[in-house]
Structure 1
Amino acid sequence: NSKSGFVPQPNLLNIYSPSVRRLIAEKKIDVSKISGTGPGGRVTKGDVLFYLEKSPKVQKPSPPGDLPLKSVSTQEEITRKAMTPIRKRIAARLLESKQNTAMLTTFTTKLT
């Protein structure tokens, strides 16, 4: 391939950092509208955030009172999973620390 002068073009999304790719995907942004300030004109996360700040808001957020209420969770929705060995060790050490130490706070004040 290199002898023929053909150089394969990398996927354009590979030149962006993972955080930039995530923002682009979440906000459905056309990257060609963003001018990059990074090395070589790369679009940085700051560029995307700046673009989002200056772009007009399409939909204004509704007041919190307008949100639909979620139903109260029932026992069926809760699932319990076995703890991993590291979590078991952390829980045991936290309990041991709580049981073997005096939990108090001392305040020193100057009365003069």
Structure 2
Amino acid sequence: MKKVKVVLWIIFLGFIAIIFFSNKDYFLARKAFQINLLFTEPFQIQELPNAIYFLVFFLVGFLIAYFISLSERFKSKKTIKNLNAAATSQLEEISVLKKEVDSLKASAFNSKTASEGQNITGEA
């Protein structure tokens, strides 16, 4: 399975490299980025290659998705912890019940052999 993952990552990175090198002129072209909020003067960032903008916006999107899923991950961990605790308590209860069944079987067997022993000796 590890070899398959490595091969898939190599293929994925190969596709990324093909896309980058076939569009190299576009990615290396420098553009200025300007934000106009209407109530302030426009904010302009110095000229940077388009590849930097792609990378920055990709990372910002990745971080937003990570932080949105963070609360759900905490809820899942809490649920797993509660379910593991419930499973452990139920396994302990099963163990206690099995011991109780074994002791009842043993006492039933002992009383049965005792009554047979009385019948063999002729005692009522």
TM-score by length of 1: 0.19
Which structure has the greater CA radius of gyration?
Answer: 2
- Normalized per residue, which structure has more strand? 2
- Normalized per residue, which structure has more helix? 2
User: Could you say which structure has the greater relative contact order, defined with CA pairs below 8 angstroms and 6 or more residues apart?
Assistant: 1
